[in-house]
Structure 1
Amino acid sequence: MDVLKSLSIFLLAGICEIGGGYLVWLWLKEDKPYWYGIAGALILAFYGVVATWQSANFGRVYATYGGIFIVLSLVWAWKVDGFKPDRYDVIGALVALIGVCIIFYAPRSIQQ
């Protein structure tokens, strides 16, 4: 259950960071209204709060989130922005995901 909870938090954080960043991108690069930028900034600030809901230390949380962010970014770009990841994108994302799962979920004798 702890793994499921932490994965849910990582997923919410990713949606906030990518979604907020995407709104800012649309505002600045695609001439969307200024409120896209404001909404994006607020969502990005909320992302910073969501990340604190993890039980591990800052370094381990952000290292793990980096790999999950890679996967979520490719999924977002594919589903929302029409980008088609190629096999090297997928392989790289899987390598990153495996690495961060080892970092975050490997059993340790002492809670760090």
Structure 2
Amino acid sequence: MERQLKEIVRVDADKCVNCHACIAVCPVKFCNDGSSDHVSINADLCLACGNCIDACTHEARYFVDDSEAFFDALKAKTPMVAVVAPAVAANFPNRYLKINALLKKLGVKPCSM
């Protein structure tokens, strides 16, 4: 069974004017398809860097917020593993290890690779 990556960035087709500003700033390019009346994203190729969201002046791109589903899964004690992105250290200097501690306290298992 082939698995697809979770969609992290979405396009609001009603707001997209197919100007390709998002494609111009995308480091992958191939994850975008501008051949129809709006640009669509292939989640399997998207890095979710957010460059396209910043570049879109039409507010047609946005991050998928699945935090409610995450907290619902925590409440239901659904077993899960978290991999914290290295960017956490840059965004929370001197405090980033507290995020791991919080996740562990909430019941998330640490990822051991």
TM-score normalized by the length of structure 2: 0.30
Greater strand content: 2
TM-score normalized by the length of structure 1: 0.30
Structure possessing the higher radius of gyration over alpha carbons: 2
Greater helix content: 1
